[in-house]
């Protein structure tokens, strides 16, 4: 879902954030006067799961979604400004939403449109008001047809890829505003609240290439993709979804830094959903200093949590815990392979963080990467056990 296309923008992140979050006095008055809408969140903190369905045939009896508040079916594509199916089984899979909601009456089911590599299609649609109207109308039709509860717009990323436009910034705002208006009208007729979310970038320039303060009144949740801080696009290792900056890189990337930037830009805490990664990033030729962490190396791609558990059981890898970053790593000293990933302990700390900062909740990419539900259960159990009486693990505020 979220890969390397955006990462060169991090080089300009500090300057970009200053531009994006600052406004002159006239702009500030305009932003502060925007209506708050009728946002009614689910009980906090919510848990959201992305299901990257692909060519799978969904079987409701094999899905374990206890404790999940929102399920995102990923993905649909843009097809001539319409909601287009991708795989032959998509229509049948999306029909399972009805059965899911009978089994889990409190759960909402959304469809995610877009994903990595679809920015060109979004840009071409959003630039034209008539084509935006076609998409908006079709989105409402699609959601009604499959008895879904809303849509997750996954535009990666406005104005930040080749073949996109400088006007993507304002066109994205227009698209979100028009989607909200259409869903509000549908709500009046259908008697149900439709949810509108966006998959938001976890890097500073996303806040400058979009207009977060202007779209906020129309969005129920910002699903912030707080992972892929490091990957195969880097020629050295690093934590890819760490909660705090590491002691070895105190000014480096972290979930805490990203979330604080969103809050400082005026996004309400209750609309912020931070991301957990049910996969890791791995490198080869990583030297033994710091057990392979922040060492020159060659990235060799992502690895699902299912396969990471196999590495642990092989006896060839040793797990390490970075107490400052609150993140685990694996290192194979013989083969010089380093893995940054998420485990039960790190996702539990992210749940604590959600409580600590009164955020809207936590989401994870991706459900099928955790076939024994170890991470999903860790999140569910921590949400239940804390019950807003979070344990203080020495986690600083911002």
Task: Measure the CA–CA gap between 156 and 177, rounded to whole angstroms.
Answer: 18
For residues 302-337, one letter each, b for 16 or more C-beta atoms within 10 angstroms of the residue's C-beta and e for the rest, the string is: bbbbeebbebeeeeebebeebebbbbbbbbbeeebb
Residue 156 annotated to the active site = yes
Strands (E), 58-216: 70-79, 82-84, 108-116, 150-156, 195-200
> In angstroms, rounded to a whole number, what is the distance separating the alpha carbons of residues 328 and 340?
7
Q: Tell me how far apart the alpha carbons of residues 64 and 164 are, in angstroms, rounded to a whole number.
A: 39
Which of 106, 156, 211, 344 is labelled catalytic? 156
What is the DSSP track for 274-341?
Answer: EEEESEEEEEES--SGGGGTT-B-EEEEEEEHHHHHHHHHHTS-EEEEETTTTEEEEEETTTTEEEE-
Active site residue ranges = 156
């Amino acid at each position: 879902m979220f890969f390397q296309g955006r990462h060169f923008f991090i080089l300009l992140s500090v300057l970009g954030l200053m531009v994006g979050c600052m406004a002159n006095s006239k702009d500030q008055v305009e932003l502060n006067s925007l209506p708050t809408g009728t946002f009614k969140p689910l009980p906090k903190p919510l848990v959201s799961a992305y299901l990257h369905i692909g060519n799978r045939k969904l079987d409701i009896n094999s899905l374990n979604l206890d404790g999940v508040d929102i399920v995102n079916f990923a993905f649909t594509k843009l097809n001539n400004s319409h909601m287009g199916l991708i795989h032959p089984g998509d229509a049948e899979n999306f029909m399972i939403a009805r059965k899911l909601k009978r089994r889990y009456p409190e759960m909402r089911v959304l469809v995610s449109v877009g994903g990595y590599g679809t920015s060109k299609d979004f840009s071409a649609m959003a630039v034209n008001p008539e084509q935006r109207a076609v998409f908006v109308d079709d989105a409402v039709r699609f959601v009604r047809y499959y008895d879904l509860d809303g849509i997750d717009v996954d535009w990666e990323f406005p104005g930040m890829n080749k073949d996109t436009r400088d006007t993507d910034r304002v066109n994205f705002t227009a698209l979100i505003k028009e989607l909200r208006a259409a869903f509000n009208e549908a709500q009046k007729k259908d008697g149900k609240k439709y949810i509108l979310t966006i998959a938001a970038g976890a890097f500073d320039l996303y806040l400058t290439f979009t207009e977060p303060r202007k779209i906020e009144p129309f969005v129920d949740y910002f699903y912030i993709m707080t992972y892929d801080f490091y990957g195969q696009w880097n020629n050295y290792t690093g934590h890819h979804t760490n909660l705090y900056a590491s002691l070895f890189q105190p000014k480096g990337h972290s979930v805490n830094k990203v979330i604080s930037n969103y809050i400082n830009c005026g996004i309400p805490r209750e609309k912020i959903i931070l991301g957990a990664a049910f996969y890791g990033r791995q490198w080869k030729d990583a030297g033994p200093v710091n057990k392979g962490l922040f060492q020159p190396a060659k990235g060799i791609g992502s690895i699902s949590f299912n396969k990471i558990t196999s590495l642990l059981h092989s006896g060839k890898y040793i797990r390490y815990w970075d107490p400052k970053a609150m993140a685990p790593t694996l290192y194979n000293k013989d083969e010089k392979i380093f893995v940054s990933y998420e485990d039960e302990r790190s996702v539990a700390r992210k749940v604590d963080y959600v409580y600590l900062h009164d955020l809207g909740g936590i989401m994870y990419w991706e459900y099928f990467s955790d076939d024994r539900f170890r991470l999903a259960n860790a999140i569910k159990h921590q949400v239940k056990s804390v019950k807003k009486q979070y344990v203080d693990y020495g986690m600083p505020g911002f």
